[in-house]
Amino acid sequence: MQIADLRKEYTFGQLSEDQVAASPFEQFKKWLQEAIDSQLPEPTAMHLATVNNQGRPAGRIVLLKHIDTGFVFFTNYQSRKADELNANPLAALTFYWVELERQVRIEGKVEKTEPHLSDEYFNSRPLLSRLGAIASPQSRPLPDRKVLEERIQELQVAYSEKDPPRPAYWGGYRLIPDYFEFWQGRLSRLHDRIVYQLIAPEEWKIYRLAP
Ligand SMILES: Cc1cc2nc3c(=O)[nH]c(=O)nc-3n(C[C@H](O)[C@H](O)[C@H](O)COP(=O)(O)O)c2cc1C
pLDDT at position 152: 97
Q: Is the CB of residue 63 below 6 angstroms from any atom belonging to ligand 1?
A: yes
Ligand 1 atom with minimal separation from the 82 CA: 27
pLDDT at position 117: 98
What's the pTM value of the predicted model, to 2 decimals?
0.97
Q: What is the mean pLDDT of residues 116-130?
A: 98
Residue 127 reports pLDDT greater than 90: yes
Q: Is the CB of residue 75 below 6 angstroms from any atom belonging to ligand 1?
A: yes
pLDDT at position 1: 85
User: What's the farthest any 2 CA atoms get from each other in the chain?
Assistant: 60
Q: What is the mean pLDDT of residues 93-118?
A: 98
Residue nearest to atom 30 of ligand 1 (CA): 61
Q: Which of 80, 151, 174, 189 is catalytic?
A: 189
Task: Express each pLDDT in 136-193 by its tens digit.
Answer: 999 999 999 999 999 999 999 999 999 999 999 999 999 999 999 999 999 999 999 9
Task: Express each pLDDT in 22-81 by its tens digit.
Answer: 999 999 999 999 999 999 999 999 999 999 999 999 999 999 999 999 999 999 999 999
Give the start-to-end residue ranges of the domains of the chain: 7-124+168-208
Look up residue 53 and give its DSSP letter. T
In this prediction, residue 86 has a pLDDT band, given cuts at 50, 70 and 90, of: very high
Dihedral of CA atoms 54, 57, 63, 65 in degrees, nearest 10, equals 50
105 tagged catalytic: no
Domain 7-124+168-208: CATH superfamily, name plus number: Electron Transport, Fmn-binding Protein; Chain A (2.30.110.10)
The 8 Å CB, 24+ separation contacts for 55-58 are 58/84
Length of the chain: 211
pLDDT at position 162: 96
Ligand 1 atom with minimal separation from the 76 CA: 11
pLDDT at position 145: 97
